[in-house]
């Protein structure tokens, strides 16, 4: 069983346990901590460790600011007299408090009390009032503890549920992408060595921390499209000498020189009879190429001086997907 499977199993235990009321809140917390650890969820692991071991305090005994914010946002916050507060009892402490006070309430009575004389009635009334007051305070304390425990339980339940959805979808997406990748990689192997070298060059640029290299990665993506466009156009339109190509809609498009977008459009239309994916593939590719060109043009004008790694990665992934769609149409 790998880490993802173990994490999903822990998610199931938390969700089922809370829904069926067969698990303590502290046990649910420990399972959530396990889920965060197995999935490298560092942000939530910090929160869950605070939940189990307590929120750190400064020398004045107050919860440190960052930890206070986490506690407030994770269900421990409340308003009183217009001010914001947090409660810091741990789940285990709340559970123990509820059990202890419920037991005390059950045992707290006037049975066995003995008074006599003229003051007997007064003394008994006072005793009864004291018992009632103490019992009421305990019942109120139990109610507050239960409410707070429910808030924590809801947070742990929500976390486990979100992680379950995330991991389940991630497994499905990974499986789908791996199957897709096998088909695409096989199709890529039929391209020329020159085109494949461009593909390898993209990966090398992403290994750098230099924003300039990310910009070059975008340029390489565009050049990769250009190379594929030329290769496929020559393959499906051998000895084509006309400067324009008439689409099925009757539009004349320029396929001469470096008009690679039009060449790709002609190739995709040529493959239309082979696959129903053509319309989707064509629109996706034109959108992506326009997006890449726009980023490059903005950068050249100094409007978008730095291309982030995130943008570069998105561009590369979409390039791979779009080129894969074209190549697998064949």
pLDDT tens per residue across span 145-179 = 899 999 999 999 999 999 998 888 876 666 666 77
Judge whether residue 100 has pLDDT over 50: yes
Whether residue 153 is found in the same domain as residue 278: no
Max intra-chain CA distance, the chain: 124
Whether residue 317 is found in the same domain as residue 209: yes
pLDDT tens per residue across span 210-264 = 777 777 777 888 888 888 888 888 988 888 888 998 888 888 989 888 888 888 8
Whether residue 217 is found in the same domain as residue 99: no
**Residues forming a β-bridge with 85:** 78
Whether residue 20 is found in the same domain as residue 155: yes
Residue 251 main-chain phi, psi, to 5 deg: -85, 135
Whether residue 323 is found in the same domain as residue 239: yes
Judge whether residue 38 has pLDDT over 80: yes
Domain interval for residue 13: 3-54+90-105+147-172
Number of domains in the chain: 2
Whether residue 14 is found in the same domain as residue 160: yes
Q: What was the pLDDT predicted at 284? A: 64
Whether residue 219 is found in the same domain as residue 158: no
Whether residue 223 is found in the same domain as residue 278: yes
The DSSP-derived string for 189-203 is TTS-HHHHHHHHHHH
In a domain, 270, yes or no: yes
How far is residue 124 from each of residues 212, 298, 313, measured CA to CA in Å?
87, 88, 79
């Amino acid at each position: 069983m790998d880490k993802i499977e173990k994490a999903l199993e822990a998610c199931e235990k938390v969700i089922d346990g809370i829904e069926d009321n067969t698990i303590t809140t502290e046990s649910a917390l420990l399972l959530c901590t396990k889920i965060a650890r197995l999935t490298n969820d560092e942000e939530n692991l910090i929160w869950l460790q605070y939940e189990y071991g307590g929120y750190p305090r400064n020398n004045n005994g107050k919860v440190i600011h960052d930890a206070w914010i986490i506690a407030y946002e994770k269900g421990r916050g409340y308003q009183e007299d217009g001010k914001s507060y947090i409660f810091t009892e741990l789940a285990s402490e709340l559970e123990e408090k509820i059990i202890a006070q419920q037991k005390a309430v059950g045992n707290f009575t006037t049975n066995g009390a003995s008074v006599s004389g003229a003051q007997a009635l007064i003394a008994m009334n006072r005793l009864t009032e004291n018992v009632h007051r103490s019992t009421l305070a305990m019942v109120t304390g139990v109610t507050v503890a239960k409410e707070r425990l429910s808030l924590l339980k809801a947070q742990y339940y929500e976390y486990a549920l979100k992680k379950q959805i995330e991991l389940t979808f991630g497994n499905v997406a990974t499986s789908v992408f791996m199957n897709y990748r096998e088909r695409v990689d096989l199709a890529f192997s039929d391209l020329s060595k020159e085109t494949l070298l461009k593909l390898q060059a993209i990966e090398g640029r992403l290994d750098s921390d230099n924003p300039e290299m990310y910009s070059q990665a975008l340029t390489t993506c565009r050049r990769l499209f250009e190379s594929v466009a030329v290769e496929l156009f020559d393959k499906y339109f051998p000895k084509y000498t006309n400067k324009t190509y008439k689409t099925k809609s009757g539009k004349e498009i320029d396929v001469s020189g470096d008009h690679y977008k039009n060449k790709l459009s002609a190739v995709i239309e040529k493959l239309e009879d082979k696959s129903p994916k053509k319309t989707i593939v064509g629109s996706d590719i034109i959108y992506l190429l326009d997006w890449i060109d726009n980023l490059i043009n903005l950068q050249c004008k100094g409007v978008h001086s730095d291309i982030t790694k995130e943008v570069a990665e998105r561009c590369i992934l979409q390039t791979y997907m779009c080129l894969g769609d074209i190549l697998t149409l064949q």
